[in-house]
């Protein structure tokens, strides 16, 4: 029996590859844009705006390549402006570049605000209407699906509602398939969006869309308000990337529409890959993924307060607004001085470690004492993992420190040198090694590796990825306690450990040994699951 094609209630138009690239610090290669387009298509967005073919050679090459590709769910759109003033569309270079892109969809941006007509285009109100109408009519004659983006529409409507509506009528008369109302400066509030969209819908019969920027922090709320008022076409970017402070974030818009408002956008199983998509886009953009991003951030369903976690163990709905798995995320708890026993019990369950209420109580007291000395375990879950294992009655640590020495000296002709000696017990063996390093911490790391690598060859694949030092009590000057956080990786797996002391070497040693112990006592698959 043939399955019924998925029918969305709201069409998703992704502009990550055009508007999203206007964020400071983002520059995609053509290959990057192809990879992102393929992933967006698999996710199920309906339109992918690939760029502005008349603006730069990179976008032109992108359209050359995608013209040869088959997309299963998305239509590729080329973006450009209406014809220039006093220029027929068939003689306008930008319009011709849009045709040369060979996309099934063309998105045209035109002016809705009289301020822009007079001061930016430097033309008349009537000529602007002609520019809009003639450009759309010409592209429709060429067989294109035309999305008309009414730039600055809400500001234009507030300044001169009659003229702003006339620009939409010009688009409608000439066959625009969708008319998108844009809050280009991002300054509107949700109730303004709701009111204006409803007023427009009474006068314009073409399907309406919404395009919001986030300058007032309302990009997502404004988008949802517009859909509630009747639009069926939503534009935005993954992770909210965009010029200035960004565009409406589709990673929050999509769950809001589908899970909160009951508007079908993508198949349910596709929505479950939203977090994965968000992380992928941030990696290609070479930007850190926002831990505190709604729905898809690593902290979106992370619980710290002991009362919260205790309630969550009884009923997950008590402190979560949705099931995180619906967007491909997961619930976590972090351990800190604010924790209750429930945090540790849940963390132990998460890690597959059995712990009794009494053990949880004793470990919690230990953690609170350590945090009072400068430790912090929120960002050092590998240290928590190791501490939980050490509370198991049958746990045998893979190695045990006997002693270490670090010498730093300034030798004439050779500069600063650091040397560390380490003595550890592995089973019934005592291993004593020494190594030089680029500083005392590196020397310690090298000496410990030298001691362990023959017994544990897996240590050769473990690499320090980041090393952070923070002063805990700066009022004590150079006698202050310091906190050391170490990020370690093994291939694509990463974990973090912590140490604290008034002695930076001791703090670093604690973090290093926790990191090595974590790597040795957690199977490879378990490490992959934690990442």
pLDDT per position as a tens digit, 343-400: 655 666 666 666 667 777 776 777 677 767 666 666 667 777 777 778 777 788 888 8
Supply the range of the domain harboring residue 405.
400-530
Query: Are residues 480 and 418 part of one domain?
Result: yes
Question: Which range has the worst mean pLDDT, 140-144, 450-454, 521-525?
Answer: 521-525
**What are the Cα distances from residue 280, in Å, to 269, 274, 301?**
18, 10, 19
Domain CATH code at residue 205: 3.20.20.70
Higher pLDDT, 54 or 130: 130
Question: Distance between CA atoms of 176 and 147, rounded to whole angstroms?
Answer: 6
CB 272 within 8 A of CB 327: yes
In a domain, 445, yes or no: yes
pLDDT of residue 527: 40
Question: Which range has the worst mean pLDDT, 253-267, 366-380, 512-526?
Answer: 366-380
Q: Give 528's pLDDT tier (boundaries 50, 70, 90).
A: very low
pLDDT of residue 474: 57
pLDDT of residue 237: 96
Is the pLDDT at 124 greater than 50, yes or no? yes
CA dihedral 223, 229, 232, 238 (to 10 degrees): 10
In a domain, 392, yes or no: no
CA dihedral 381, 382, 386, 391 (to 10 degrees): 10
500-511: average pLDDT: 83
In a domain, 388, yes or no: no
Structural domain ending residue among the three candidates 257, 284, 311: 284
Query: Are residues 518 and 406 part of one domain?
Result: yes
Is the pLDDT at 264 greater than 50, yes or no? yes
Reading the block at residue 253, the tokens are 């818009």
Higher pLDDT, 351 or 425: 425
pLDDT of residue 350: 64
Q: What beta strand segments (E) does 427-524 contain?
A: 429-437, 463-471, 482-490, 493-501
189-195: average pLDDT: 97
In a domain, 195, yes or no: yes
Residues 6+ apart with CB under 8 A from 68: none
- Per-residue pLDDT tens for 74-118? 999 999 999 998 899 999 999 999 999 999 999 999 999 899 898
- Per-residue pLDDT tens for 11-61? 999 999 999 988 988 888 888 899 899 999 999 999 999 988 877 788 888
Closest CA to 246 of 33, 75, 26, 58: 26
Structural domain ending residue among the three candidates 284, 315, 330: 284
Q: What is the mean pLDDT of the chain?
A: 85
Query: Are residues 178 and 103 part of one domain?
Result: yes
- Per-residue pLDDT tens for 46-55? 999 998 887 7
Query: Are residues 472 and 364 part of one domain?
Result: no
pLDDT of residue 356: 67
Higher pLDDT, 492 or 162: 162
Query: Are residues 152 and 54 part of one domain?
Result: yes
Structural domain ending residue among the three candidates 284, 319, 354: 284
Query: Are residues 452 and 489 part of one domain?
Result: yes
pLDDT of residue 338: 46
Q: Parallel, antiparallel, or unpaired for β 178-183 and 145-151?
A: parallel
Query: Are residues 112 and 82 part of one domain?
Result: yes
Residues 6+ apart with CB under 8 A from 40: 14, 16, 48, 74, 238, 277
Is the pLDDT at 202 greater than 70, yes or no? yes
Give the total number of structural domains in the chain: 3
CB 333 within 8 A of CB 303: yes
Is the pLDDT at 508 greater than 60, yes or no? yes
For residue 36, what is the enclosing H or E element?
Answer: helix 30-43
In a domain, 1, yes or no: no
Higher pLDDT, 461 or 200: 200
Is the pLDDT at 147 greater than 50, yes or no? yes
pLDDT of residue 334: 56
173-190: average pLDDT: 96
pLDDT of residue 504: 83
**Which H, E and C letters describe 323-384, residue by residue?**
CHHHHCCCCEECCCCCCCHHHHHHHHHHHCCCCCHHHHHHHHHHHHHHHHCCCCCCCCHHHH
Question: Distance between CA atoms of 505 and 491, rounded to whole angstroms?
Answer: 27
pLDDT of residue 352: 66
Range list of H helices, 52-177: 57-66, 93-100, 114-116, 125-141, 153-159, 161-173
Question: Which range has the worst mean pLDDT, 91-105, 267-281, 350-364, 401-415?
Answer: 350-364
Q: Is 164 helix (H, G, I), strand (E, B) or coil?
A: helix
Higher pLDDT, 413 or 38: 38
Return the ∠ at Cα 294 (arms to 289 and 295), rounded to 5°: 95
Query: Are residues 308 and 274 part of one domain?
Result: no
pLDDT of residue 344: 59
Question: Which range has the worst mean pLDDT, 12-26, 259-273, 457-471?
Answer: 457-471
In a domain, 264, yes or no: yes
Provide, rounded to the nearest whole percent, the portion of the chain with pLDDT above 70: 84
Question: Distance between CA atoms of 318 and 334, rounded to whole angstroms?
Answer: 17
- Per-residue pLDDT tens for 292-340? 899 998 777 676 655 554 555 555 665 677 888 898 877 666 554 444 5
Higher pLDDT, 506 or 227: 227
Q: How many CA atoms lie within 13 A of 126 on its CB side?
A: 0
Question: Which range has the worst mean pLDDT, 195-199, 210-214, 248-252, 424-428?
Answer: 424-428
Domain CATH code at residue 442: 3.30.160.270
Query: Are residues 139 and 36 part of one domain?
Result: yes
Q: Give 502's pLDDT tier (boundaries 50, 70, 90).
A: confident
Query: Are residues 306 and 278 part of one domain?
Result: no
- How much helix, strand and coil, in percent to the nearest 5, is found in the chain? 45, 20, 35
Q: Give 511's pLDDT tier (boundaries 50, 70, 90).
A: confident
Query: Are residues 404 and 323 part of one domain?
Result: no
pLDDT of residue 355: 67
In a domain, 384, yes or no: no
Provide, rounded to the nearest whole percent, the portion of the chain with pLDDT above 90: 44
Question: Which range has the worst mean pLDDT, 165-174, 318-327, 431-440?
Answer: 318-327
Q: Give 437's pLDDT tier (boundaries 50, 70, 90).
A: confident
pLDDT of residue 328: 86
Query: Are residues 408 and 266 part of one domain?
Result: no
In a domain, 256, yes or no: yes
Residues 6+ apart with CB under 8 A from 25: 287
Is the pLDDT at 183 greater than 90, yes or no? yes
């Amino acid at each position: 029996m043939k399955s019924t094609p998925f029918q969305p209630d709201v069409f998703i138009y992704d502009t990550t590859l055009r508007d999203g690239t206007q964020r400071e610090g983002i520059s995609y290669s053509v290959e990057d844009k192809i990879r992102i387009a393929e992933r967006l298509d698999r996710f199920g967005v309906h339109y992918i705006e690939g760029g502005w073919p008349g603006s730069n050679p990179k976008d032109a090459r992108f359209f050359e390549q995608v013209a040869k590709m088959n997309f299963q769910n998305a239509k590729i759109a080329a973006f450009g402006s209406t014809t220039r003033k006093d220029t027929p569309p068939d003689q306008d270079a930008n319009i011709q570049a849009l045709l040369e892109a060979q996309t099934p969809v063309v998105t045209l941006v035109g002016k809705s605000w009289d301020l822009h007509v007079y001061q930016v285009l430097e033309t008349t109100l009537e000529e602007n209407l002609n520019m809009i109408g003639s450009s759309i009519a010409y592209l429709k004659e060429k067989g294109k699906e035309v999305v008309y983006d009414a730039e600055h529409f809400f500001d234009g409507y507030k300044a001169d509602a009659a003229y702003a509506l006339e620009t939409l009528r010009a688009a409608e008369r000439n066959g625009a398939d969708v008319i998108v109302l844009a809050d280009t400066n991002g300054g509107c509030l949700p109730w303004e969006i709701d009111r204006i969209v409803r007023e427009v819908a009474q006068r314009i019969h073409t399907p309406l869309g919404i395009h919001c920027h986030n300058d007032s922090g309302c990009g997502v709320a404004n988008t949802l308000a517009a859909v509630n008022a009747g639009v069926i076409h939503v534009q935005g970017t993954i992770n909210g990337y965009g010029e200035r402070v960004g565009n409406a974030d589709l990673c929050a818009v999509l769950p809001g529409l589908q899970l909160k408002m009951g508007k079908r956008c993508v198949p349910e199983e596709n929505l479950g890959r939203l977090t994965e998509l968000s992380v992928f886009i941030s990696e290609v953009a070479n930007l850190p993924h926002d831990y505190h991003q709604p729905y898809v951030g690593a902290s979106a369903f992370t619980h710290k307060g002991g009362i919260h976690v205790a309630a969550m163990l009884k009923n997950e709905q008590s402190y979560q607004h949705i099931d995180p798995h619906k967007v491909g995320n997961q619930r976590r708890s972090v351990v800190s001085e604010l924790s209750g026993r429930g945090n540790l019990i849940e963390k132990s369950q998460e890690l597959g470690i059995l712990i009794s209420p009494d053990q949880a109580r004793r470990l919690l007291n230990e953690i609170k004492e350590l945090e009072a000395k400068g430790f912090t375990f929120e960002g050092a879950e590998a240290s928590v993992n190791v501490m939980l294992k050490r509370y198991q009655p049958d746990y045998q640590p893979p190695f045990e420190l006997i002693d270490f020495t670090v010498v730093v000296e300034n030798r004439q002709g050779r500069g600063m040198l650091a040397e560390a000696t380490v003595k550890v017990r592995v089973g019934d063996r005592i291993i004593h090694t020494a190594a030089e390093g680029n500083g005392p911490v590196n020397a310690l790391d090298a000496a410990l590796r030298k001691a362990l690598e023959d017994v544990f060859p897996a240590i050769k694949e473990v690499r320090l990825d980041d090393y952070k030092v923070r002063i805990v009590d700066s009022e004590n000057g150079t006698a202050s306690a310091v906190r050391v956080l170490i990020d370690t990786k093994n291939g694509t797996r990463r974990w973090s450990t912590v140490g604290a002391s008034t002695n930076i070497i001791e703090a670093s040693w604690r973090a290093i040994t926790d990191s090595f112990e974590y790597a040795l006592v957690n199977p490879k698959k378990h490490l992959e699951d934690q990442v």
